[in-house]
Structure 1
Amino acid sequence: MSNEYIALRKITVGTAANDSSHTDAEPAEDQQTATDGNHLAKDSTEEIHLLSADQVTVSIKTPNSSARSSVSSHGSATPAGDRLQEGQTSPAVQSKTRKVLSDLNAVVVWRLRLWMVITLIFALIIFVIVLSLILCSVLYVDEDEKFDRASFTVPRLFKGTLRLVNQNFTAALLSSDSPESLALSENLREQLSKVFSSSPALGRFFNSAGTSSFSNGSVIASYWLKFMLPPDQGELVQYTLSREMVRGILRQQLYDQELHPQDPLYIDPTLVQMEVATQ
């Protein structure tokens, strides 16, 4: 009996010990689980903090930085020239610019720098050109303008008729001594003299002009022209002072006249008659 009691007692004590060990192990496991949970929570918190920092960094980046980050995230390399912002120059260009400026500021002669020498050369070229133009305009003499009127001794005469389409013929114009005839004659003389004295081709040879009479039919004025030629007038008579040339110049000047067609002194260019006169 005592032996069975002792065996039963041992079994009871062993069972109690096992229960006790299980009870003690459970808090340990709970503590371990709590510790692991704390570590996981801490890691999660750190990841949240890191993720927030990355998001803040991304949010403050410029569009160009975002583009570069996107390209870098795909593993492609961005060329250095593409990373330059608008308005910026590459280092190579900046280096060349600095080199050119350095060369221009280099001292060439005495204290003169290269840019000063270049400026002086251009200024000297401009000065020489301007001086040459001034000297040419002052010293140039047209050979055709060198003539002596005293040597023009051979006369050449022309005569013809002009029609003053706006003049009313009166009996006073029949007398060359009447005031009306003298006034109209003087006006025509001045007009003809102005035409030929201002002509580049005939002005040097022109001597005088006048009227001889007036007749009816509006008013038809008979006029004469006198030119003086040098002794060797062969080509002048044939070309410059031919009847066709003189008549053509007179008609052209009358076409260009400033008088209104209704003016009393208006001469009809189409009715100009001319012929070579003799002494």
Structure 2
Amino acid sequence: MELQQLRPAGDYRAVGQNDTVTPENGTCSDHSTPRETENGSFLQDVQVDGGGRENCDENDSNSDDAELQQSGLRREFSRMKKELGKDVVCHLKLWMLIVAVLIIVVIVIVLSVSLCKVHHEDEDETYDRSTFMVPRFFSGNFNISNLTSMPEEEAIRLLERKVVDVYNSSFALTRYFSSAELTLLRRDMVEFQLQFLMPEEHGQLERYTLSREMVYSVLFQRLVEQDSTDPLYIYPLSLYMQVRK
């Protein structure tokens, strides 16, 4: 043991009045400070520990949800795989039938598009006009608006062009139409003669395509559609037509 020298009473007062804490004397000037410090550090430790516990709980919850989703997806994938692997017809799997149906649909679409692009030649559109030698004539007349400011020759020329355009624009009659001749009888009446050419076998043409009703209807329909302000306006109801032998 080490013996220490005792200090006088005055030294004890000096020590009591000294507020400085030193390692030698082992005293503390303020006893409440350690308590507050200890309490503060304890509260801080509790708060830090609590916040960390909440973060950990939240992370654990998120990871659990992710694992549940992944497990659900795995179960769903396994169920679909099992369903697709079932035998349906003649030991054919369901996925085989689905693939086969898709292939058939694609083939049908490709074939449809290809067939639409192929130009089919219509036999009705192929004809030799030079073989049309048998004439068929129609004659008639119609009334027009009274000519006052146009020469007769110019009026006849414009009317002939109008009638020719009617039959040249007709899909059924244009191949047979030959000519149209118009004559001005008076200032408000015009007489016309139409000529069509037919092939030698023309029995069906005379009965249907080049019948009086067909030729008349084509011209009448165009007269109905004409502009009423035309100076060469033709009155549709005044149209008369007959087959000339």
- Return the TM-score normalized by structure 2: 0.59
- 1:58 touches 1:66 (CA, 8 Å); kept in 2? no
Deviation, structure 1 residue 269: 2.2
Alpha-carbon distance between aligned partners in 2 of 1:145 and 1:248, rounded to the nearest angstrom:
22
Residues 272, 58 of structure 1: alpha-carbon distance in 2 compared, 3 angstrom cutoff: farther
- Which residue does 1:114 correspond to in 2? none
Alpha-carbon distance between aligned partners in 1 of 2:110 and 2:209, rounded to the nearest angstrom:
42
Matched, 1:143 2:114: no
Residues 270, 55 of structure 1: alpha-carbon distance in 2 compared, 3 angstrom cutoff: farther
- Which residue does 2:171 correspond to in 1? 200
| Partner AA of 2:203 in structure 1 | G
**Bigger Rg over Cα:** 1
Alpha-carbon distance between aligned partners in 2 of 1:131 and 1:277, rounded to the nearest angstrom:
50
| Partner AA of 2:122 in structure 1 | D
Alpha-carbon distance between aligned partners in 2 of 1:169 and 1:232, rounded to the nearest angstrom:
47
Deviation, structure 1 residue 234: 1.1
Residues 189, 61 of structure 1: alpha-carbon distance in 2 compared, 3 angstrom cutoff: farther
Matched, 1:226 2:221: no
More helix by percentage: 1
- 1:205 touches 1:229 (CA, 8 Å); kept in 2? yes
Alpha-carbon distance between aligned partners in 2 of 1:42 and 1:231, rounded to the nearest angstrom:
128
- Partner-residue secondary structure (3-state), 1:238: helix
Matched, 1:191 2:167: no
Deviation, structure 1 residue 152: 1.4
2:214 is aligned, of 220, 228, 245, to 245
Residues 58, 160 of structure 1: alpha-carbon distance in 2 compared, 3 angstrom cutoff: farther
Aligned residues: CA RMSD: 4.0
- Which residue does 2:230 correspond to in 1? 263
Alpha-carbon distance between aligned partners in 2 of 1:93 and 1:52, rounded to the nearest angstrom:
39
Q: Deviations over 1:252-277 (max 9, x none)?
A: 122334xx311212222232211112
Alpha-carbon distance between aligned partners in 1 of 2:200 and 2:112, rounded to the nearest angstrom:
43
Q: Sequence identity, in percent?
A: 29
Residues 210, 61 of structure 1: alpha-carbon distance in 2 compared, 3 angstrom cutoff: farther
- 1:166 touches 1:262 (CA, 8 Å); kept in 2? no
- Partner-residue secondary structure (3-state), 1:158: strand
- Return the TM-score normalized by structure 1: 0.52
